[in-house]
Structure 1
Amino acid sequence: MHTLTGIGVSPGIVAGPAAVMNAPPVLPARPPAVTDEHAAVEAAHTALGEVAAELLERAGQAIPPAADILAAQSAMAADPVLAQRVAELIKAGRPPAYAVSDVIAEFAEQFQAAGGYLAERAADLEDLRNRIVARLLGLPMPGLPDPGHPYVLIADDLAPADTATIDPRQVLAIVTERGGPTSHTAILAKSLGLPAVVACTGAIAVADGTQLLVNGTIGTAVVAPAPSQVRSALDREAVRRAAAARVTGPGRTSDGHPVKLMANLGTARELPAATAAEGVGLLRTEFLYLDRAEAPGFDEQRAAYAEIFDAFAGRRVVVRTLDAGADKPLRFATQPDEPNPALGVRGLRTSLRSPELLDEQLAAISAAAQRARAEVWVMAPMVSTPGEAAAFAQRARAQGLPTVGVMIEVPAAALRADAVLAGCDFVSLGTNDLAQYAFAADRTLSDVADLLDPWQPALLDLIHLTAQAGHRAGKPVGVCGEAAGDALLALVLVGLGVTSLSMAPATLVDVRAALAHHTIAECRHLADLARAAPDAAAARSHVEAVAHTGRWGGARDGWR
């Protein structure tokens, strides 16, 4: 028995046999000669088209965020530049499978060099390479194992096509060697309610069938645990889940301090999972724009928004305007040759190039809101200055939207939060991007994943600055990043002054229960402890120790 340690990105404890992801195809060491150049080019283009079509079909069957990711990956496979470059190599004597592998390696290297969100697409390209090469060589398609029983999925990393097809009745938990707190694996595991540990060195070496005890809350995977250890851990988890399920109603601390608990949504297909939320704290609108040659029209947008607004009658829905650029390129709005798109024209900045996109979107949101009984708020992503916040608010109000806010994802905006809030009605902290920009750390690299840990005291300082500015202005400050779904960290965020938390629907139960076991004074004490810690690991450790066995009433095993 030994313990592997990584980063817990989706809470829960489960035990089960390991099953390692199917291996990618390997090219033979000696390439065969190309005897029919035309047929070789045709074979490569056919494989590209078939893989693109397969991914697009899967996107149509999946729910966001998996559907959006798969659609973007399908667009990569259908990119005419990729097909042209492959054809050039084949005509130079390279066999189809080798040409595809070489070209995708070139693209992946360029993506990695660009850094930021674009580097995240390098893993998607690697998956494309594996699928196209397997098809050209007539080999089994890489992907999820099928041992015939429920299992703990082990992988170096998971591609979008893999995560989109995970069946939570078969996959008990996910453990990967790569990835970080904001990776696709983390986001999708949380949306499925599966415990997950990423950046877990040594995971791939675990043999198929080996029993694993996975704790996605603290980020451990115990290899070949003793039966008594498994029973004890699962019993504690069952007690925790039962206790959490008994806590119902609006979010509030044990002494009645209100904290709105909201859901993050991508499309109307996610609505059934979000019914327990008090509203929508982040409605991503990119699903209407991705993988299209031109922007959706006014009527299409209005109908899509109206469906979601109608489902939340009497509750708040916060709509984020188009967050294009970086990892979400649009053929009609973004420049494909930006040297560093994560630091370029993205989010609200796209309206500088295409103002009509934002104006029509705001008009469609307003039209849908006027006919709905939901309380519709709107906010802009990637706002950096008070001037940008005020200008967006004026623009939205001119379209008839009375409650307007902005995302705090850039450290400059957090540092000037008082001035930002002076020009709008509320702010929402996007902790994923705020951490990436604050620590200059690529969210796709396992080597710097610890810097993106939402427990980092410097990140908590930025959140505290923003929350205190909101308190002074008497305006709401929410969190809609992945940090909001961590039940222990939720206590700290509320202690910092955050007024609402928006998360994957699967995490609502645990967060509601955690708040119900602590007073607002206790949350503030935990926030002080976390900010005073030297690093993220110490912050979590100190808070956990006091929250579970603190001075205010003994162990808190009911929600741990």
Structure 2
Amino acid sequence: MELTGVGVGRGVAVGPILRMPDPLPEPAEGPRDSTRTEAEEFARVQSAIEAVAADYNARGEKAGGEAKEVLEAAALMAQDPTLLDDVRNRVGSGSTAERAVFDAFRQFQDMLIGLGGYMAERATDLGDVAQRIIANLSGVPAPGVPESDTPFILVAPDLAPADTALLDLTKVLALVTSQGGPTSHTAILARSKSIPAIVGVTGALELTDGTMIVADAASGRVTVDPSDEVVAEAERRIAERKAQADAPITDGALADGTKVPLLANLGSPAEAANAVQLGAEGVGLFRTEFLFLDAKSAPTVESQQASYTELLSHFPGKKVVVRALDAGADKPLSFLNDAHEENPALGLRGLRALRASEQILRDQLTALANAQAATEADLWVMAPMVADAEETEYFVELGRELGLKTVGVMAEVPSLAVLADQVFTAADFVSIGTNDLTQYTLAADRMLGSVAAYQDPWHPAVLRLVRMLGDAGALAGKPVGICGEAAADPQLAVVLVGLGATTLSMTPAALADVRAELATVTLDQAKAKAAAAVAATTAAGAREAAAAL
């Protein structure tokens, strides 16, 4: 039997499955134990919250990096004063501690889901927090990744950040989930950990523990109870991939020698050394938000300059593309824009927010220009959420005024692709953010699981917009890069090159797979795959058409 979903990466794994334990049952609504007072019942809640928060923080210290930040944020959620007040009121009305936590957190989750975007994604995290508090109150283990003495393939509806942060990669061979799409949290984790994954697999939750499967991310297939021949072929591919990973790292190129520089997406200077070790030829997207998100006021020019200089020092003579602050209503900053908006994904974000607070933008570009002068890296700077040629001209002129040499924009809004010929008259380059371009093209919030099926950069509408940008860039003789999650999909990376992408940027762990895939095709073959994908009518059809050539 075969099940199908969306594969993440080129990897394959063979092994028995273990399922993620089912969520805890909904607590009963009956009256609480009459032997406990209201104060004693609420004290149980406080104790449980303290224990859960301490556990999150301890796991964060062990995980380090981005996982630490995610888990520390979860600890803060557990201790949220508004939620705690709601729980106290419910206990005061006669609820048990377990039921009060369940109802208070569920009500807040529903509110976050209604807000959509970044806030809706936090609802999943909040649900995990509630489950852990209720488990503590009930005296049972918190739901989470099962433990095993032997390696296994993990099957789950989806994975919460707390589950994924400390995955034991010596035991978890691959991930198979029934939910999620190519830009889901699980898919992003799989790429960053370089672990095979297949998401959105219908029927995955019907599998029983111990069932042997082959999880083939390259084809998006799960083979249940595979034959000896299928297992042997999978094991051959596993050995082949290991040999490729152990081979000397080369620059990205097609089989005919066409150069395709492979760059890294980074979120802080601390990630640079690992990217270089994995073969990054530069940086295609450096996210600067880490300097701003926890600050009460905008960071100074001097503090920003220090961070940018640290980053650039890792890449002497190499291209480093830095994105100006991409924040706004979905990631509100009190000093930029914290006004409530009904649909923050379509609100005052990216360049729009920066333009409304121009001094913040001027300070950032000044710090970048100073770092450029202090290092030997080839600094490129781009603006997020740019809609047209007028906005492009504004950003490019300001960047040049402040001393930047290479200034461009991100293509995340479909209008920019439609007006690509006008945009290239001003911009030195365009970098395509496929995550946002996909959600805006298909009107599908990329943080909302209910429309996950639409959140697929293989959709021909998205590919046609990429082709428009690629054609305009070629006509202008200017670079067109890809810096969204799509570049980390090896098969899609080939298609993107065929559509005119001149560089690809991705999570560093995906570099090896993409490098290997590009080396199997010539430019003419990449163009043929791209043409077939663009001619399809669905994302699945585009995948199949490209794979058939």
Aligned partners of 1:151 and 1:32: how far apart in 2?
42
Structure 2's unaligned 5+ residue stretches are none
* Offset of residue 217 of structure 1: 1.8
* Residue of structure 2 equivalent to 1:83: 84
Aligned partners of 2:339 and 2:93: how far apart in 1?
27
State the secondary structure of the residue aligned to 1:311: coil
CA contact (8 A) 1:71 1:291 kept: no
Aligned partners of 2:255 and 2:238: how far apart in 1?
22
Change (3 A) 1:70 1:370: farther
* Residue of structure 1 equivalent to 2:350: 347
Change (3 A) 1:318 1:436: same
* Residue of structure 1 equivalent to 2:422: 419
State the secondary structure of the residue aligned to 2:410: strand
Change (3 A) 1:453 1:474: same
* Residue of structure 1 equivalent to 2:15: 16
* Offset of residue 425 of structure 1: 1.3
Instruction: Choose 163-172 or 295-304, whichever is displaced more.
Output: 295-304
Aligned partners of 2:332 and 2:51: how far apart in 1?
22
Aligned residue runs from structure 1 range 234-253, under 5 A: 234-242=235-243, 246=247, 248-253=249-254
Q: Which amino acid is 1:300 matched to?
A: S
* Offset of residue 428 of structure 1: 0.7
Aligned residue runs from structure 1 range 393-404, under 5 A: 393-404=396-407
CA contact (8 A) 2:27 2:98 kept: no
State the secondary structure of the residue aligned to 2:253: coil
Change (3 A) 1:353 1:303: same
| 2:365 pairs with 1:365 | no
* Offset of residue 356 of structure 1: 3.8
State the secondary structure of the residue aligned to 1:174: strand
Instruction: Choose 517-526 or 322-331, whichever is displaced more.
Output: 322-331
Task: Give CA-to-partner distance per residue, 1:419-443, whole Å, 9 cap, x none.
Answer: 2222321111111111111111232
TM-score, structure 2 as length reference: 0.92
Question: Equivalent of 2:504, from 501, 507, 522?
Answer: 501
* Residue of structure 2 equivalent to 1:315: 318
Aligned residue runs from structure 1 range 207-286, under 5 A: 207-242=208-243, 246=247, 248-275=249-276, 276-286=279-289
Change (3 A) 1:100 1:540: same
Instruction: Choose 111-120 or 225-234, whichever is displaced more.
Output: 111-120
Aligned partners of 2:387 and 2:166: how far apart in 1?
37
Aligned partners of 1:510 and 1:372: how far apart in 2?
31
Aligned partners of 1:317 and 1:489: how far apart in 2?
23
* Offset of residue 291 of structure 1: 4.0
Instruction: Choose 150-159 or 36-45, whichever is displaced more.
Output: 36-45
TM-score, structure 1 as length reference: 0.91
| 2:154 pairs with 1:153 | yes
Task: Give CA-to-partner distance per residue, 1:252-299, whole Å, 9 cap, x none.
Answer: 223332211101111233234311111010111222333444444444
CA contact (8 A) 2:214 2:226 kept: yes
State the secondary structure of the residue aligned to 2:397: helix
Change (3 A) 1:83 1:524: same
State the secondary structure of the residue aligned to 2:17: strand
Change (3 A) 1:102 1:16: same
| 2:460 pairs with 1:428 | no
* Offset of residue 451 of structure 1: 2.2
* Residue of structure 2 equivalent to 1:105: 106
* Offset of residue 247 of structure 1: 7.3
Task: Give CA-to-partner distance per residue, 1:491-546, whole Å, 9 cap, x none.
Answer: 21111111100012122122222222322222212211111122222222122121
State the secondary structure of the residue aligned to 1:14: strand
Aligned partners of 2:108 and 2:23: how far apart in 1?
19
| 2:480 pairs with 1:481 | no
Aligned partners of 1:288 and 1:57: how far apart in 2?
24
Change (3 A) 1:418 1:38: farther
Q: Between the two proteins, what is the percent identity of the paired residues? A: 47
CA contact (8 A) 1:48 1:83 kept: no
Change (3 A) 1:445 1:106: same
Q: Which amino acid is 2:86 matched to?
A: R
Task: Give CA-to-partner distance per residue, 1:104-142, whole Å, 9 cap, x none.
Answer: 211221222223333222211211211222223332122
* Offset of residue 484 of structure 1: 0.7
State the secondary structure of the residue aligned to 1:290: coil
CA contact (8 A) 1:118 1:326 kept: no
CA contact (8 A) 1:11 1:196 kept: no
* Offset of residue 344 of structure 1: 1.6
Instruction: Choose 96-105 or 239-248, whichever is displaced more.
Output: 239-248
State the secondary structure of the residue aligned to 1:251: coil
Change (3 A) 1:69 1:332: farther
CA contact (8 A) 1:72 1:291 kept: no
How many residues get paired?
545
Change (3 A) 1:407 1:281: same
* Offset of residue 201 of structure 1: 1.9
* Residue of structure 2 equivalent to 1:381: 384
* Offset of residue 224 of structure 1: 1.9
Change (3 A) 1:423 1:136: farther
Structure 1's unaligned 5+ residue stretches are 547-560
* Offset of residue 195 of structure 1: 0.4
Change (3 A) 1:73 1:395: farther
Change (3 A) 1:340 1:503: same
Q: Which amino acid is 2:456 matched to?
A: D
Change (3 A) 1:406 1:43: farther
